[in-house]
Amino acid sequence: MTRQPKITFIGAGSTVFMKNIIGDVLQRPALSAATIALMDLNPERLAESEIVAGKLVRTLGVEAKIETYSNQLKALEGSDFVVVAFQIGGYEPCTVTDFEVPKKYGLRQTIADTLGVGGIMRGLRTVPHLWKICEDMLAVCPEAILLQYVNPMAINTWAIAEKYPTIKQVGLCHSVQGTAFELARDLDIPLDEIRYRAAGINHMAFYLKFEHRQKDGSYRDLYPELIRGYREGRFPKPSHWNPRCPNKVRYEMLTRLGYFVTESSEHFAEYTPYFIKDGRPDLIEKFGIPLDEYPKRCIEQIERWKGQAAAYKEAETIEVAESHEYASSIMNSVWTGEPSVIYGNLRNNGCITSLPENCAAEVPCLVDSSGIQPTYIGALPPQLTALIRTNINVQELTVQALVTENREHLYHAAMMDPHTAAELDLDQIWSLVDDLLVAHRDWIPEWARIPKKVAAA
């Protein structure tokens, strides 16, 4: 009998995301009889996910087996693929803290999960848990591939590569394919007629090529059309998914840099010092920057999930639409040898020669039975390299803090953050980091906690 893969989902209480990934997996014939191990510490959410996964199996009429675990090590035993999706500290209290404490200093954010003081704190909360997964994988499934969907993606990927270099890992995001869809929509060109190549770091990769295939087989550069459409006020078109988030920041940066960035305008506004400034409401209005956007999304998602959970529990079958995530494509290629190309985050290792060897780079990767193989890019245009380095500085110092258990580097990381440094002076930055470390005390490693006598002072 042919061995079937085991796919373990850590953080399976993220039920909607789990449904998308497992729905994709079960629609691939080579994976349809897999053992799906769902692991979560929240028994109620795990039970909800088990119900949904079971109905996916019945809807598709496949032979997959669903197992549930509260013990991470047992869930990982014998795994071939490990999908990770969790948020340490949740919306409450930790996301709320990451927004409300900086706000007292006049430091406003939009998403706060990747860079800035919010991203630094999320990395501090998250990496130790990812390291524990790596430790358990080395014990019970050392050859498994870790498919990591957790933010801050670049910090996480970098930190795993530093401490557990033998773990086969890739950080996965949908920004490259998602933005390509948005631009195709603006241009009224079918996405399957567009060819692109992107590279950089997660949330700050750029389309080095963005072209339209012509009837004669040649390709036309679409950048002049995108710039012209923006300057004439035709682009961006109104958002198809969130009216609070127009795409003006990225189009503006296209006119300045000559390249379009792959992550959203609401994200990009807080990765740079140009758009969110205290006392400049004109910038917020001009570029449609949605301050405090992530907490609003969290509240909406929580409410939406309550309705979805009730509907899923009552439904006999669950509609299974294909998502745009890369996970099932990777698993299928590794398991069958059928090649595919994905965008993944891995240790740079010289793929992008103008960025540090040890940073986490986002590049096109070939996937087949040999695993995930990143492709060589070479040097990025100098203006892109320079901007990306400003974000790498923050990532590197946060990872250094975690690896060396040196709390001072958390302050250094905040110092180097473009948005924080543009708004606050050194005393304010130090005080803000102190306040965040105190507020997150129960969620961060012991070495990062401020001694109580210092905190009280």
Q: Which residues are catalytic?
A: 174
Q: Which sign, positive or negative, has the C-alpha torsion 176, 182, 187, 189?
A: positive
Q: Is the CB of residue 138 less than 8 Å from the CB of residue 166?
A: yes
Angle at 444 between CA 443 and CA 447, to 5 degrees: 150
Q: Is the CB of residue 102 less than 8 Å from the CB of residue 162?
A: no
How many residues comprise the chain? 457
**DSSP codes joined into one string, 88-108:** TTIIIIIIHHHHHHHHTTT--
Structure tokens at 227: 């710039």
Structure tokens at 65: 């087996």
User: How far is it, in rounded angstroms, from Cα 158 to Cα 173?
Assistant: 15
State the DSSP H helix or E strand holding residue 344, giving kind and residue range, or none if neither. Answer: strand 340-347
Nearest to 98 by CA among 444, 383, 388, 402: 444
Q: Which sign, positive or negative, has the C-alpha torsion 314, 20, 337, 146?
A: negative
Q: Is the CB of residue 75 less than 8 Å from the CB of residue 10?
A: yes
Q: Which residue has the tokens 């090590």?
A: 73
Rounded to the nearest angstrom, the gap between the alpha carbon of residue 133 and the centroid of all alpha carbons in its chain is: 18
Q: Which sign, positive or negative, has the C-alpha torsion 285, 98, 47, 24?
A: positive
User: How far is it, in rounded angstroms, from Cα 160 to Cα 151?
Assistant: 13
Helix axes 293-314, 96-103, angle to 10 degrees: 160
User: How far is it, in rounded angstroms, from Cα 101 to Cα 90?
Assistant: 16
Nearest to 249 by CA among 205, 222, 302, 286: 286
